[in-house]
Amino acid sequence: MKRKRKKRVKTIFVMVLFIFAFFIVLKAIRSPLEVANRLNEQDSYDNVKKYEPFLRKELAKYQLQNYTPTLLAVMQQESKGKGGDPMQASESAGLKPNAIQNPEESIRRGVKHFQRALTYGKKEKVDFATVIQAYNMGIGYIDFVKKHGGKHNEQLAKQFSLIQVHKKPDQYNCGGDKHNFRYPYCYGDFTYSTKVMENIKSITASLPASKNQTDGSF
């Protein structure tokens, strides 16, 4: 009996030791990965941050420089700061997609588009999330939200998207890809405001305090 008990205790001890060693190894593996992920997350905003001085300068023309983190977040969502039209402002200017091939011109147009949406949004007393979504879906989205309570949500964005899809079904069809997460709401991105708000949090946390003047609200 004693031998069996000792054997059982030894077995339990070995199992506990094995489990402890397993978690030590797991932690050792995860730590570098977590560091790498944090670095990758930080690096993912490097392209947009290089435009911060010019973006702030353009916003200052409208006394809106406090919205610099917001516009950086918009740029991150639009292009991650890449290409000749990082604000994806061509269509809002009545041009074909990516017609603008000058980042500074893109920023000027993008800032102007945002300024219009912000001014109109305040006038119509909608929430800030609606203004952000209007950068993606156009100023008409502000009117739509005003008629439906004044506060953005993804269900309203889907409804507005379908209205536009029905107007031009051949144009707004997600390229015929029914597996696209937006389908059948192929006009704009109904999750746009949510994504930009998350970008604002990340960018705000990474900017120096002197440049971090707003969380992107009215």
CA distance 86 to 38: 24
Q: Name the one residue in this structure whose structure tokens are 């560091």.
A: 35
- The string of pLDDT tens digits covering residues 143-152 is 999 999 999 9
What integer pLDDT is reported at residue 98 of this predicted model? 85
What are the angstrom distances between the C-alpha of 205 and each of 42, 47, 59, 212? Answer: 10, 16, 20, 8
Q: What phi and psi values does residue 178 have, to the nearest 5 degrees?
A: -75, -10
Contacts of 85 (CB under 8 A, 6+ apart): 79, 98, 99, 100, 101, 103, 106
Q: Give this prediction's pTM.
A: 0.78
**Structure-block tokens of residue 180:** 């696209």
pLDDT in tens, the chain (218 residues): 555 555 565 666 656 566 665 556 445 445 554 544 444 444 579 999 999 999 999 999 999 999 999 999 999 999 999 999 999 999 887 888 889 999 999 999 999 999 999 999 999 999 999 999 999 999 999 999 999 999 999 999 999 999 999 999 999 999 999 999 999 999 999 999 999 999 999 999 887 765 655 555 67
Q: Which option is the CATH number for 46-211: 3.90.1300.10, 3.10.110.10, 3.20.10.10, 1.10.530.10? A: 1.10.530.10
